[in-house]
Structure 1
Amino acid sequence: MMKYLLGLMMSVASVVAAAPPPVVPSANRRFQDRETRVVPDFQRHVVPLLGRLGCNSAKCHGSFQGQADFRLSLFGFDFAADHAALVAEATTEEGMRISADAPEQSLILLKATAQIDHEGGQRFKPGSWEHHLLLRWIESGAKGVEAQAVASTEVVQQTQFSPQGIRFFEQKIEPLFEKNCYECHGFNNRKGNLQLKTRELLLAGGDSGPAITPGDPEGSLLVQAVRHRSPDLRMPPQRKLADGQIADLEAWVRMGAPWRSRPVASAAIEAKVLVQLHCEPQEILFSAAGDSRAIRVVAQWEDGRHEDVTCLTRFRSNDDAVVTIDAKGLAHAVGPGDTHIVAFYDNGVLAIPVLRPYSKNQSVVSLPENVNPVDRLVLGKLSKLGLRPSALCDDAEFLRRVSIDVTGTLPAPDEVTAFLMDDAADKRERKINELLNRPAYAAWWTNKLCDFTGCSPSAFGEQTVLEVGHGYSTQWYDWIHRRVASNMPYDQLVAGIVLAQSRGPDQSREDYATEMSSYVRQESPADFSLRKTMPHYWTRATVSEAKDKALAFAHSFLGIQLQCAECHKHPFDKWTQSDFSDFTRFFEDLTARGRMGFPAFAAAQRGKIVNWPELSVGKGADKTLGLLRSGQVTIAAGEDPRAVLMKWMREQDNPWFARAFVNRVWAGYFHVGIVEPPDQFTPANPPSNPQLLDWLTRGFLDSAYDMKWLHRQITRSATYQRSWKPNATNRQDRRNFSRAIPRRIPAEVIYDAMKQATAATEQLDAVRANLKRRASGHLSMRMAGTHAMKVFGKPARAINCDCERVNEPTLLQAIFVQNDPLVRMRLADSGWIIQIEEAVAAGRAVGEKELVKQVWLRTVNRLPDEDEIARAVKHLASVDSIVEGVTDLMWAMLNTKEFLLNH
């Protein structure tokens, strides 16, 4: 009996232990009653409520200048600043924003309930739960985060300033600093060790001493600097402030440099930590338009507390054509498809999948046992959506598509006919392997890697003559090309960029100058691509500041965008300014010394030995930094922080490094990423097929970062080889890979394709093989910024965004192909048409049908059907000469969608 009871007790204990934690009811229930004694929490309740109401949005008080002298941090998360703004004395005669003596007369309540004039209109009704929550918070002392989170936090006593002085600072001086000074002297940058974000930092000053002396404009370095009277002391360095702005700054210092009062302690450190958001349901499956489903969001905090925060959560639909969501978290089905509803609360972002099938009958496709896992995972998603995949494309479509995607090259006419005549079952797989072993594969995918890493002749500074930029960018291209051609593992290729050094450990400056000069000399130049590392990524003028390096690094190697977090809490991601500041500090000791001018570069070309810019990694000091919320790392003095980053990226569970590359390669083949846009890895933009991305990433890691493994897995799949022709179910699908999406071929490929299509027969192989003269190869560096490349969307690689490359058709492109001198020149100088002209002049027979076939094979890479042959032959018979007729046909085919699109 005792054993039985003991066993029963243990069983009950285990059940109790496994029971879900209690959930605190939602705020709209707890604050429904005016008489509630519950005390709202500033971080958990007040700030999220202001966010849901839109108070801290960019259109209201979260804007750069605020509204009506009241400014909140954009999207909330600077709790100290928001609390200070709320409790500060209002600068109007309407009253106090927060009135401790008469809480119900607080402006935050009177304006939001429209009891007095409010430009933002009524945000909630008097007597509502929102009204009760804010009123109860005010009645309870209107405490901020720092007072509640850390009992020992002290607020340093600051000089008390008049309301007029604080208003002058907020209206005149703070906007001036933000617009003109914070880029160099904000929290994320501190040129000359000077920061201007707080009054204490201004008084502490930088390398030259205190920036201001309150009450004494003439003795303040900052005032002297903005006057631009000394060439060695100018702020901002490139331009002078307006006279009125300088006068405002002088008046402010004369007033004693008033500043808004706020706690010195960092609110970001003291803030409560949100562990995770949970949602119910975890996925929504609608069956018809008009269906609705309520969403419940529960916040899990580090202290173990679980609270229903649905009423404090902001919701957004990623596609209103599929589902809409109201402020209460009620989702409404609209049209068929799939998307996500995104929930935002505190620093949490949670995406909830939403699906509504395109057809009532789920698609069932029988799969062979040896099916490509890519197809199994794609078909699994299609089945849930009732999507039937398109059939496989025909052989001609496949050859053209895979040739363009893998090598950036059209197939040759003889290659097309040979492939069509091949009856072997494995001919597609053999062709894929053949293409991956061609030099054009390395050339084209090097070009793509140069897109991602920002290789541009103009990136080395406005003062650098373009010839110098071409020299640097060509070396950059060559260095990557050698590694792609040898199929170096991707992580090793990236390590050669990330950990790049200018000089070797034992290399003298003289030896370094000799080495670098040898790469550009015109006679017998040395091969830069043989260098172990490639430092040009870090020596660009466009990444001279630590913040620029951080932004470029995150985009190039992690596929994430951090720009928003530079100034405020990221609206659709978890990044805060503190996260961005920490990440920036990984690069603050990495500098490029010197710039290469054209005279020195030209001298090196003539064989002279000249000095070259050098990448320097400073010694720095011991520092512990947060690594994009992946934990903290300690970097010892003298340790290269980039080595820490590279080690972290190579960790098997790194959330971005391998996944970002896999996704970009996938997007290169499908014109849409599994995460789309491909450089927007955020919780608010989850993968359309998470299992597919996970499988490809795991396989890529298991293959030791083998890039060709990844290309093979994708191109061998039936998913890649599907026709563009839709069926009744998948016509509207553009994100689940049920069919090929026709897309305009890239700028470089169009340029080369026109050249190839018009080349003489015996020159075809040479035109295709001479990668030094191909826009999709080595010539891409020289062609950057040319008219043809701009028209067809080749990126200038000037910004950190994959969106810079534009592959969408435009009216200007149509005009270009019809009338541009480049197109007319290609036709007028066509080696093939000249051959026809010579044959006609010599009296040799030219078969009209064969000529028509060649036009089609050269342009759209297939044989014409009988109707097309008949119409083309009829045209040839209607013109004065066969040469004129063939020229007309070539021009017409170059203008077809079939030529301009990859399908």
Structure 2
Amino acid sequence: MRVLPTILFGLMLSAVAAAAPPRPARSLEVTPNPIALGGTNRVQQVQITASGPDGHRFDVTHRATLEITGTERATVDGSTVRSVSDGDASLKVAYGGRVIEVPVRVRNRTTFPPVHFNNDIMPILSKLGCNSGGCHGKQSGQNGFKLSVFGFDPKADFNALVKEARGRRVSLAAPGGSLLVAKASNTIAHGGGARTSTGSPDHILLSQWVAQGAPWGSDGAPQVSSIRVSPAQRVLRATDEQQLLVTAVYSDGTTRDVTGASEYTSNATLVADIEEAGHLHTGRVPGEAAITINYMGHVTASRITVPRGGGPENYPRLPTNNRIDELVWAKLQRMGILPSGLAPDAVFLRRLHLDTLGGLPSPAEARAFAADKRPDRRQRAIGDVLDRPELVDYWTQKWGDVLLADREVLGERGAFEFHRWLRVQLATNRPYDEWVRELLTATGNSGRYGPVNFFRAARTPNELTRSVSQAFLGIRMDCAQCHHHPFEKWGQDDFYGMAGFFNGLKHTSLGPGRELVYHGGYQPTRIPLVNQLVLPRPPGGRGIENFGESDPRVRLAEWVTRPENPYFARLVANRIWKQFLG
């Protein structure tokens, strides 16, 4: 649906970029420096950044002139450097009258290292869209060939390519003639058209994998441990451009350029949209965009800011009352926006009551506040609403919605006990982490002990995984129940690992509307379809092998409320921020 708008958007920006004169540059910087090529890292995306006379940094990767000295060692293709043979060369970069040279070192070019199916081939299948829901990843496959959607099951994909259809998809005797290689380049007619070109890095890697015997690869091979992007944050002008540089870091400490193998998406395409291979353009709309990058299930983001035009040249120094003011002023300055003036007293009182108590102030309260001329009247009004019982009522209702305290599901008694327990936690100002730990490990009679009703609103391990991850971590793991989503870091191991903490939870009826809820002890959890055993583990954490005789939920509750957990405190802060600031 976005094809036509994206094409028009790109054509408009291309025309603008072509017509724009070169911006003056005080200096140039090339990343990486030096450029090291060899092994499977035979192509390197370069990123060229200029600094203007005012110190502002801007990207000139696709505007600079790139030239290789020593073309028998390496060549330039657009903004990438490709290895040719072992030896040393030099990359000369020129822009705006500035010139910089970067050494290029090519090593082990003649020896292709062992190709690993999961590390090297799976990223190609994902990048080319082969395992997408519209192609071979759909439930019925495509023309008799089925891959796991988004590559969530590499073993099954390996078997589909190497062992199914009597092995006709790979030809060890003629790698280039394998259906996998020939159809990808459309040498043999392919319903999906050409996904890569002959001689491209992807084509070479696919051919090398088949030539090496189409192996799965060593289980001890280095695995991707993280990815990083440069720049992680950048302020750009309208109708500007930026080349991203994405690097994968492996478990043995080595790195590889994966800019061309990664998948990209923008959450605000009118602000900044991605073309291909990490090349983005900004539009004419000011704002912020997060460019999400996914490679092998690892996700990071680059945050692009396009300030509003016509802002003040010399931003005024604004008064601050707390740390939040400092952060907000810094953000507004970066966006080129001056803050609004102070809200009138009547507006302040209305917002205070609506956001804090969920209702408007009474006419008498509004008149009394308007007549109050004391300089600290606003602080007094805040103190007043924080002492009122309506505060507890309102926030108990809000937390009840988050925690699924539904009378139709829990019954009158269960909903009443759950609501009463929640109200006590807020009325006594009990620390958030304490009552969450109690709720996550709750055991007992649902008609007498409120928090166990949480495990009646969400009963199964899968339902509890979705509910706990959203309510207390602010992450959505729904997609990970079936596959590794292309723009989330969570996979099936994370989903069913978390579900393992709840596997074994029991519900024994005690009469109408009442149940005894308890955990019967650790029970093994397996991923459906592949029947793979998964140890209980928090999202992104390590599996826990031994629980002894304790309730597995205790270990989960300890992890959720731990100070170093990056999600728990951030989520509750965001909930409060959204309530007061929208």
Q: Conserved in 2, the CA contact under 8 Å of 1:48 and 1:346?
A: yes
What are the equivalent positions in structure 2 for 1:623-634 lying under 5 Å apart? Answer: 625-634=536-545
**Pair 1:539-2:456 in alignment:** yes
Task: Give CA-to-partner distance per residue, 1:437-483, whole Å, 9 cap, x none.
Answer: 111111111111011111112334xxxxxxxx233212211221122
Following superposition, the deviation at residue 31 of structure 1 comes to: 7.8
What are the equivalent positions in structure 2 for 1:217-616 lying under 5 Å apart? Answer: 272-289=222-239, 291-334=240-283, 335-359=285-309, 361=312, 364-368=315-319, 371-460=321-410, 469-502=411-444, 516=447, 534-540=451-457, 543-594=458-509, 596-597=511-512, 612-616=514-518
Measured in 2, the distance between the counterparts of 1:76 and 1:47 equals 7
Following superposition, the deviation at residue 37 of structure 1 comes to: 4.3
Larger-Rg structure = 1
What are the equivalent positions in structure 2 for 1:776-787 lying under 5 Å apart? Answer: none
**Pair 458,365 (structure 1): closer, same or farther in 2 beyond 3 Å:** farther
Task: Give CA-to-partner distance per residue, 1:206-243, whole Å, 9 cap, x none.
Answer: xxxxxxxxxxxxxxxxxxxxxxxxxxxxxxxxxxxxxx
What are the equivalent positions in structure 2 for 1:478-877 lying under 5 Å apart? Answer: 478-502=420-444, 516=447, 534-540=451-457, 543-594=458-509, 596-597=511-512, 612-620=514-522, 625-671=536-582
Aligned letter for 2:485?
Answer: H
Indicate the residue corresponding to 1:786 in structure 2: none
TM value normalised by structure 1:
0.50
Aligned letter for 1:453?
Answer: L
Measured in 2, the distance between the counterparts of 1:111 and 1:431 equals 71
Q: Which runs of 5+ in 2 are unaligned?
A: 1-32, 45-80, 86-108, 525-533
Aligned letter for 1:136?
Answer: Q
Following superposition, the deviation at residue 564 of structure 1 comes to: 1.1
Higher relative contact order (CA 8 A, sep 6+): 1
Following superposition, the deviation at residue 398 of structure 1 comes to: 1.2
Aligned letter for 1:341?
Answer: I
**Pair 1:79-2:154 in alignment:** yes
Measured in 2, the distance between the counterparts of 1:42 and 1:27 equals 18
Measured in 2, the distance between the counterparts of 1:454 and 1:641 equals 22
Task: Give CA-to-partner distance per residue, 1:155-181, whole Å, 9 cap, x none.
Answer: xxxxxxxxxxxxxxxxxxxxxxxxxxx
Indicate the residue corresponding to 1:38 in structure 2: 112
Measured in 2, the distance between the counterparts of 1:583 and 1:439 equals 37
Measured in 2, the distance between the counterparts of 1:305 and 1:457 equals 55
**Pair 310,595 (structure 1): closer, same or farther in 2 beyond 3 Å:** farther
Q: Conserved in 1, the CA contact under 8 Å of 2:318 and 2:329?
A: no
Measured in 2, the distance between the counterparts of 1:316 and 1:392 equals 38
Following superposition, the deviation at residue 321 of structure 1 comes to: 0.8
| Structure 1 counterpart SS, 2:539 | coil
Q: Conserved in 1, the CA contact under 8 Å of 2:308 and 2:336?
A: yes
Indicate the residue corresponding to 1:115 in structure 2: 187
Q: Conserved in 1, the CA contact under 8 Å of 2:291 and 2:304?
A: yes
Following superposition, the deviation at residue 68 of structure 1 comes to: 1.6
Following superposition, the deviation at residue 500 of structure 1 comes to: 1.2
Q: Conserved in 1, the CA contact under 8 Å of 2:185 and 2:198?
A: yes
Q: Conserved in 2, the CA contact under 8 Å of 1:362 and 1:383?
A: no
Measured in 2, the distance between the counterparts of 1:77 and 1:66 equals 15
Q: Which runs of 5+ in 1 are unaligned?
A: 1-18, 151-270, 461-468, 504-511, 517-527, 602-611, 672-903
**Pair 1:58-2:133 in alignment:** yes
Aligned letter for 1:459?
Answer: V
Measured in 1, the distance between the counterparts of 2:414 and 2:111 equals 68
| Structure 1 counterpart SS, 2:536 | strand
Measured in 2, the distance between the counterparts of 1:72 and 1:27 equals 28
Aligned letter for 1:148?
Answer: S
Task: Give CA-to-partner distance per residue, 1:19-52, whole Å, 9 cap, x none.
Answer: 9996767454698779964244323321111111
| Structure 1 counterpart SS, 2:475 | coil
TM value normalised by structure 2:
0.76
Aligned letter for 1:111?
Answer: K
Aligned letter for 2:191?
Answer: E
Q: Conserved in 2, the CA contact under 8 Å of 1:57 and 1:63?
A: yes
Indicate the residue corresponding to 2:55 in structure 1: none
Measured in 2, the distance between the counterparts of 1:305 and 1:32 equals 18
Measured in 1, the distance between the counterparts of 2:523 and 2:133 equals 38
Q: Conserved in 1, the CA contact under 8 Å of 2:393 and 2:423?
A: yes
Indicate the residue corresponding to 1:132 in structure 2: 204
Task: Give CA-to-partner distance per residue, 1:710-747, whole Å, 9 cap, x none.
Answer: xxxxxxxxxxxxxxxxxxxxxxxxxxxxxxxxxxxxxx
Measured in 2, the distance between the counterparts of 1:363 and 1:392 equals 21
How many percent identity over aligned positions? Answer: 32
Aligned letter for 2:572?
Answer: F
Aligned letter for 2:153?
Answer: D
Q: Conserved in 1, the CA contact under 8 Å of 2:353 and 2:360?
A: yes
Measured in 2, the distance between the counterparts of 1:397 and 1:283 equals 36
**Richer in strand (by share):** 2
Q: Conserved in 2, the CA contact under 8 Å of 1:23 and 1:306?
A: no
Aligned letter for 1:539?
Answer: R
**Pair 41,635 (structure 1): closer, same or farther in 2 beyond 3 Å:** closer
Aligned letter for 1:366?
Answer: R
Indicate the residue corresponding to 1:719 in structure 2: none
Following superposition, the deviation at residue 275 of structure 1 comes to: 2.1
| Structure 2 counterpart SS, 1:393 | coil
Measured in 2, the distance between the counterparts of 1:459 and 1:65 equals 37
| Structure 2 counterpart SS, 1:59 | coil
Q: Conserved in 2, the CA contact under 8 Å of 1:408 and 1:444?
A: yes
Q: Conserved in 1, the CA contact under 8 Å of 2:500 and 2:523?
A: no
Measured in 2, the distance between the counterparts of 1:76 and 1:412 equals 59
Measured in 1, the distance between the counterparts of 2:313 and 2:267 equals 24
Measured in 2, the distance between the counterparts of 1:287 and 1:311 equals 25
| Structure 1 counterpart SS, 2:150 | coil
Q: Conserved in 2, the CA contact under 8 Å of 1:446 and 1:480?
A: yes
Task: Give CA-to-partner distance per residue, 1:780-827, whole Å, 9 cap, x none.
Answer: xxxxxxxxxxxxxxxxxxxxxxxxxxxxxxxxxxxxxxxxxxxxxxxx
**Pair 426,65 (structure 1): closer, same or farther in 2 beyond 3 Å:** farther
Measured in 2, the distance between the counterparts of 1:587 and 1:502 equals 16
Aligned letter for 1:81?
Answer: A
Measured in 1, the distance between the counterparts of 2:441 and 2:201 equals 56
Indicate the residue corresponding to 1:149 in structure 2: 219
Measured in 1, the distance between the counterparts of 2:198 and 2:307 equals 43
